[in-house]
Amino acid sequence: MTPRTPKIPHGGDYNPEQWPEEVWDEDHRLFTRAGIDTLTVGVFSWSLTQPAEDTYDFTVLDRVLDRAAAEDRRVCLATGTAAVPPWLAKKYPEVNRTDFEGRRHRYGRRHNFCPGSPAYRRLSTALAGRLAERYADHPALLAWHVNNEYGGACYCDLCADAFRAWLRGRHGTLDALNEAWWTTFWSHRYTDWDQIEPPSALTEHWRGPDHTAFQGITLDHHRFTTDALLGCFLAEKEAIRAHDPDTPVTTNFMGTYRPLDYHRWAPHLDFASWDSYPPLDAPPTVPALAHDLMRGLKDGAPFWLMEQTPSTTACRDVNPLRRPGELRLATFQAVAHGADAALYFQMRASRGACEKYHGAVIGHAGRDDTRVFGEVAALGEELRTLGGATLGARTPARTALLFDWDSWWALEISDGPSRLVRYQDTVHTYYRAAREAGADVDVVPVTADLSAYDVVLAPVLHLVKGDLAPCLEAVAARGGTVLATFLSGRADEHDRAFPTDVPGPLAPLMGVRVDEWDARPADVVHPVRLDGLTAGARLVFEIVRLAGAEPAGTYGADFYAGTPAVTRHRFGAGEAWYVATALDPPGVDHVVRRVLARHGLLGPYAGHPGLETAARVAPDGTRLLFLLNHSTEPARPTARDTVTDLLTGKRTERGEPLGLDPLGVAVLRLE
Ligand code: GLA
Ligand code: ZN
């Protein structure tokens, strides 16, 4: 249940508590000019709302919310528990985290609380409860924003005990745990739960968090950390629900954020929301992948773009500006992928501390004639024009891409075959190929219902769990296509290698057998012949023996020259493709386009570099097509249907050209 609004909420993080109230008058005047209707407040105001353990003071927050209501703006109200106040850390030092190296931190920064601390739990939920009690019926309240960007881990003794308790719940007996972690290796058989240590620089790890002696232990600790922070969220949500039964509750995620398995969180959010800060040199498919992942959290329901910068970030060594038009393009890209809100960090730039140079709608001088303010205001006007046309719309994707945190973790904490294979890079290469070929893609967990998809892409699916293998076989059996790659189907949920031929449970579907694999440095590029194309391949070269599949591409170098690098296996009415090496983007494009073509899923503009398309279907059945021109050249694609651009009102007949400016956007309603 994404909050119900008449149009896309437009606004963002607003910290008026940093300024005297005269400034608020100016803020609201400017908000009206820029079409700002939604303010996220209270994200970092714990030390103001609770200046001491027994003192709550809601004076400022009351005024902020009342003022918003008086101005006809809505509020996304944060519980403010992501940065603990100094008094709390001083009084209850346990609340400070202990890091991976075992150092107990002292008070400082934010996102700094120990999730296992009873004092933190008690005081954060008390605060959330107080806020809900006070504001549940406030006319400005639109949504609850619990905490902020949950992340990180704690290695204190309390968290170590909580880890042991979590392990008992997961494994039941020490025998089962020893078996799962393969502890006979290096003499690790545990005979008492108390002997178990969280994996850290002091225990199983060397050279940082990715080098572990026991992958099974480290994997379980990632899952535990996910659940520990989720426990903090759930406790706050419960405190809110005691006073407010129905205002939607979310917490702002970070897209493809490795430390937390957001799929474990998804059922507990009322709606998903996330903060998008792509590096500005990243291709547009990087934020798009994260949007689609966030949309996949709630079975395709729209999410909120909770934060993006209107202009520049501050946290990077070098912080480029968004060029003219880029904010608009990024915002409509989010909407195209399922965002039902467009919010910024931040409304007014902080005067002090580490984010004072972070971009804001209103800068330090408070002007409304800056370029950035002008672009925000123009966007505000367009979002007003768009009204509710896109709200609640779904993406009619026929292609699914499996995204699996367990596989991500397992792949990147593995010793061998290559530290150079990065999960996100490989997943992104396949995602990008499908998107640039014009396919809408749902990025879904491995537990998703796959029955609606023609194509399922499963890149580097290192762990295969539960009944996934038969589910994928069912996709192919009914005529669909499944694609898997090198380093898939290697290990079970505990990261124990399957005692069978590679790719384990995927082997019957793929129709191949892999006995050996060669890993080479990044600069070694082997040719792979694919139909008429010669692609480059790097990093890992699996040596494939056919077991029913036919070759679709062959290695052109080394002692495996002439053997299959890409295979296709007819399975039931469908097909399974196996790509045994890290093909370069042209190679992946070639394979993915062959797969999509079989199902008629190549988009009409697949040959148009830089032109992104995305479909959405509104709740009343209206079909929408977004055209996003990421190129700095104009584009003139031919309309494939008679369409009306909802931003300009312009109607274009089928077969006529659609004019798109450089970085231009069209939101087309199909007739
Ligand atoms: C994050 C946080 C915000 C702010 C921005 C700056 O997304 O949630 O509080 O620090 O980054 O980019
Ligand atoms: Zn702790």
**pLDDT (tens digit, 9 = 90+) per residue, 631-657?**
999 999 999 999 999 999 999 999 999
- CA distances to 137, 194, 484, 524, 576 from 533, rounded to whole Å, are 64, 58, 21, 19, 21
Mean pLDDT of 64-82: 98
What are the b/e assignments for 453-466, b being 16+ CB within 10 Å? bbbbbbbbbbbbbe
Distances (CA, A) of 233 to 191, 246, 248, 252, 268: 34, 17, 14, 11, 9
Q: What is the DSSP letter of 275?
A: E
Give the model's confidence band at 1: pLDDT under 50 very low, under 70 low, under 90 confident, else very high. Answer: confident
Q: Given 94, 149, 204, 375, which residue is catalytic? A: 149
Q: Which two tokens mark 328?
A: 């608009």
Which residues, other chains included, contact 408 with Cβ-Cβ below 8 Å and sequence gap of 6+? 258, 423, 424
Question: Does the pLDDT at position 388 exceed 90?
Answer: yes
Contact between residue 446 and residue 242 where contact means Cβ atoms under 8 Å apart:
no
DSSP character at residue 42 = -
According to DSSP, the residues that pair with 526 across neighbouring strands are 537
Distance 115 CA to ligand 2 centre (A): 6
Compute the distance between CA of residue 207 and CA of residue 664 in angstroms, rounded to an integer: 46
- Identity of residue 619: P
Taking alpha carbons only, the member of 459, 492, 499, 480 closest to residue 569 is: 480
Is 542 catalytic? The answer is no
Q: Quick one: which ligand is closest to 102's CA?
A: 2
Residue 429 is predicted with a pLDDT of 98
d(CA 625, CA 332): 12
What is the pLDDT, as a whole number, of residue 280? 83
Output the average pLDDT for the chain: 98
Q: What's the predicted TM-score (pTM) here?
A: 0.98
CA of 231 to the centre of ligand 2 (A): 13
**Each residue's pLDDT tens digit, 562-584:** 999 999 999 999 999 999 999 99
CB atoms within 10 A of CB 15: 19
Q: What share of the chain is helix, strand, coil (3-state, %, to 5)?
A: 30, 20, 45
* Closest-lying ligand 1 atom to the alpha carbon of residue 254: 7
| Average pLDDT for 607-617 | 95
- Whole-Å CA distances, 528 to 63, 117, 518, 537, 583: 66, 54, 15, 7, 8
CA distance 429 to 76: 35
Q: For 345-361, how does the pLDDT look when each residue is reduced to its tens digit (9 = 90+)?
A: 999 999 999 999 999 99
Closest ligand to C-alpha of residue 148 is 1
| Segment 251-305, tens digit of pLDDT | 999 999 999 999 999 999 999 999 999 998 899 999 999 999 999 999 999 999 9
In percent, how much of the chain has pLDDT > 70?
100
Question: Which residue carries 């046309």 as its tokens?
Answer: 389
The span from the CA of 268 to the CA of 251, in Å, is 10
Cis peptide before 333 (omega within 30 of 0): no
Q: Is 63 helix (H, G, I), strand (E, B) or coil?
A: helix
Catalytic residue among 94, 204, 236, 307: 307
- What share of the chain has pLDDT > 90, as a percent? 99
Provide the b/e sequence for 414-448 (b: ≥16 CB within 10 Å). Answer: beebbeebbbbebbbbbbbbbbbbbbbbbbbbbeb
| Ligand number, closest to the Cα atom of 113 | 2
pLDDT of residue 43: 98
Domains present along the chain, CATH in parentheses: 12-155+222-386 (3.20.20.80), 165-212 (no CATH), 399-598 (3.40.50.880), 611-670 (2.60.40.1180)
Q: Are strands 339-344 and 399-402 parallel, antiparallel or unpaired?
A: unpaired
The stretch 34-45 carries a mean pLDDT of 98
pLDDT at 225: 98
Residues with CB under 6 A from ligand 1: 148-149, 275, 277, 307, 313, 315, 345, 355, 358
CA–CA gap between residue 385 and residue 7 (Å, rounded): 9
Question: What's the mean pLDDT in 67-73?
Answer: 98
On whether the CB atoms of residues 47 and 85 are closer than 8 A, the answer is yes
382 in active site: no
User: What's the pLDDT at 170?
Assistant: 98
pLDDT digits (tens, 9 = 90+) for 488-540: 999 999 999 999 999 999 999 999 999 999 999 999 999 999 999 999 999 99
Count the alpha carbons within 13 Å of 86 in the hemisphere toward its beta carbon: 1
Question: 6: exposed, middle or buried (C-beta count within 10 Å: 0-12, 13-18, 19+)?
Answer: exposed
Mutate to test the pocket of ligand 1, among 149, 250, 312, 322 (most ligand atoms within 8 A of CB): 149
Pocket mutation for ligand 1, best pick of 345, 348, 358 (most atoms within 8 Å of C-beta): 345
Q: How many A from CA of 474 to the centre of ligand 1?
A: 43
d(CA 487, CA 485): 6
Q: Residue 320 carries which DSSP code? A: P
What does the DSSP assignment read for 481-520?
Answer: EEEEETT-S-B-TT-PBPSSSBTGGGHHHHTEEEEEEEE-
Name residue, tokens 């009914």: 478
